[in-house]
Amino acid sequence: MLQRTPETGLLLDKVLHHVEAIYHDTPTVVDYDTLAKELLDIMRLDELAPAPPQYVNHWSQRDAIVITYGDTLLREGEVPLATLKSFLDDYSDGLVTGVHILPFYPWSSDDGFAVLDYSSVNEFLGSWEDISAIAGEYDLMADLVINHCSGRSLWFENFLQDKSPGKGYFYTALPDADISAVVRPRTSELLREVETPEGTRYVWCTFSHDQVDLDFRNPEVLKQMVSIVRLYLDNGVRIFRLDAVAFLWKIPGTTCLNLEETHEVVRLFRTLVEYAVPGALLITETNIPNRENLSYFGNANEAHCVYNFSLPPLLVNTLVTGNCRHLKTWMMSMPPAQNGTAYFNFVASHDGIGLRPAEGLLSDEELEELVTTMRRFGGHVSFRALEDGQSKPYEINISLFDALQGTTAGPDSRAVDRFICAHAIMLALEGIPGIYIHSLLGTRNDYQRVEHSGQYRSINRHQWEYDVLIEELEREDSSHAQVFARIKALLAVRRQQAAFHPNATQFTLHLGDALFGFWRQSMDRRQGIFCISNISREPLPLSLSDINLIGTQEWVDLIGGEHYHSREEVIELAPYQTVWITNAAGHDLP
């Protein structure tokens, strides 16, 4: 047998370490050596493969990712994935480098997140050839729905009949198990009663009874997921979004959230993916309080990127209250991402505005005011269950455009400017930007879709008839056209600035509660950018002396094009105006 030592750095050593750490305390007897070799065989990796370079940033300021369902754009006579590619090719002007296609597999509920078959493309959307075509032009992000699968999948049907594949794949608990401390985002019963050849069993359902949790204590489940990763890599996927991964490992009597075995599974997938395709990335989708979310960076050995989940509720709250104090406090507390890791920034998603990531950052009274304002703007609220049987707001379901149609005082005429301000802030922050397609298009609340589906989240999952959308984008007086053009203009500027590299230095500025500002500096220290936004309804003065401009340099606003020659100048920022002020010698205009 190969003599392994920590110093060898061989891939087999690393994988063996991972599986030992995962399975050392499970009731199942696991042959660690055999399992480690099986995982390498599935990934087609050499046991003696040398380690790829560590702490490498596989991204730059040029990167921006569009988030979309595969069927958001519909054109008669064409599969939706082909329509999506046409739109990106013809209208993104080369400003988008990646696309996250939300679950494109056959599914039974939750708009794709109850997967029937991980190895197939939903035939309504297209085929693997369509997926590969998109992957050939853009960095493709795909969901690895790792925590659960459909209650109508072949795996679960086989589980109910004690057949393979599926036998032993799903987590079960006794009805009297201690689940009092379990943290979950739903109010439905956690355990679902089912009948099997072995009698009545109780399967664990973190999200819904059609989304049954997989049991990673069974190594066969791990091997299945690794084989799915290999399949996706073979079809061009380069970014894996680990959906709901925080809930992966269960131990009754605990919260069953963020357990050490879960983190070790992430480390294992990181090792396998980066050895298989250097430059392939893992992003953890962990809609949980901020400190817990950051733990998925590990020591730069878990996720390459984590979703910046606290940003959407804090930024929306900032813009509807006209006060940036909480956003500024949070920003000062955020550690810079190590090389080889990055934040994934977003303001809107297919789900909604998560409130758990704002817990501890906004008071209960402030959260209640935010919820009340969003309801006034046509939004809905989803709840989660608490230990005492009560429920608490978990998520606001609303389109971002409608969320920013006004302030706590009510709707006003500055919706587009406020909306663009949100994106100007997000695009300038440390991290990689992800833009939900309905934000790129300024889509409004879809009440008809909510009524049809019976799901609040459908309010922000509109489907566009392609010709109707293009007509809107070609009308100068359309809010959709205005939003689309202005966000693309920001992207065009952003990608030219070294100070907007996702890992470039960031410092918070202190300009009061109505001006939100921060400083970005390129890693070679040649360029700095002052990013300042008026987040209020009133025009405000900005004295350039307050931001310590170097008097010997000429400065320019990258967005508006104005030049500044003296640090004694005072400029007036219109409501929701953003300036990106940089030293003229250190930047390139698009």
350 is annotated as contributing to ligand binding: yes
* β-strands 98-101, 73-74 pairing: unpaired
* Euclidean distance between CA atoms 163 and 160, whole angstroms: 8
* β-strands 391-397, 380-385 pairing: antiparallel
Catalytic residue among 139, 143, 243, 557: 243
148 is annotated as contributing to ligand binding: yes
For 157, phi then psi, to 5°, come to -60, -40
For 77, phi then psi, to 5°, come to 85, 10
For 217, phi then psi, to 5°, come to -65, -20
DSSP letter at 26? -
Give 57: exposed, middle or buried? Use CB within 10 Å, 0-12, 13-18, 19+.
middle
Residue with tokens 């709250």: 317
* Euclidean distance between CA atoms 230 and 456, whole angstroms: 34
Please say whether the beta carbons of 460 and 468 come within 8 A: no
Please say whether the beta carbons of 143 and 102 come within 8 A: yes
* Euclidean distance between CA atoms 424 and 208, whole angstroms: 36
Instruction: Compute, in degrees rounded to 10, the torsion defined by CA atoms 42, 44, 47, 49.
Output: -140
* Catalytic site includes residue 46: no
The per-residue DSSP string of 100-125 comes to EE---S-BSSGGGTSBS-TTS--TTT
H or E stretch at 466: helix 466-473
For 438, phi then psi, to 5°, come to -75, -20
Residues in the chain, overall count:
590
587 is annotated as contributing to ligand binding: no
544 is annotated as contributing to ligand binding: no
* Euclidean distance between CA atoms 323 and 409, whole angstroms: 13
For 323, phi then psi, to 5°, come to -135, 125
Instruction: Compute, in degrees rounded to 10, the torsion defined by CA atoms 493, 499, 504, 507.
Output: -100
Residue with tokens 């606290």: 310
Per the omega criterion (within 30 degrees of 0), is the bond before 165 cis?
Answer: yes
For 254, phi then psi, to 5°, come to -115, 180
Please say whether the beta carbons of 54 and 341 come within 8 A: no
The per-residue DSSP string of 409-477 comes to TEE-S-HHHHHHHHHHHHHHSSSEEEEEHHHHTTPPP-HHHHHHH--GGGGG---EEHHHHHHHHT-TT
501 is annotated as contributing to ligand binding: no
73 is annotated as contributing to ligand binding: no
Please say whether the beta carbons of 286 and 292 come within 8 A: yes
Give 207: exposed, middle or buried? Use CB within 10 Å, 0-12, 13-18, 19+.
buried
Catalytic positions: 243
> Binding site: what residues are annotated?
110, 148, 241-243, 350-351, 457
> Binding site for substrate: what residues are annotated?
110, 148, 241-243, 350-351, 457
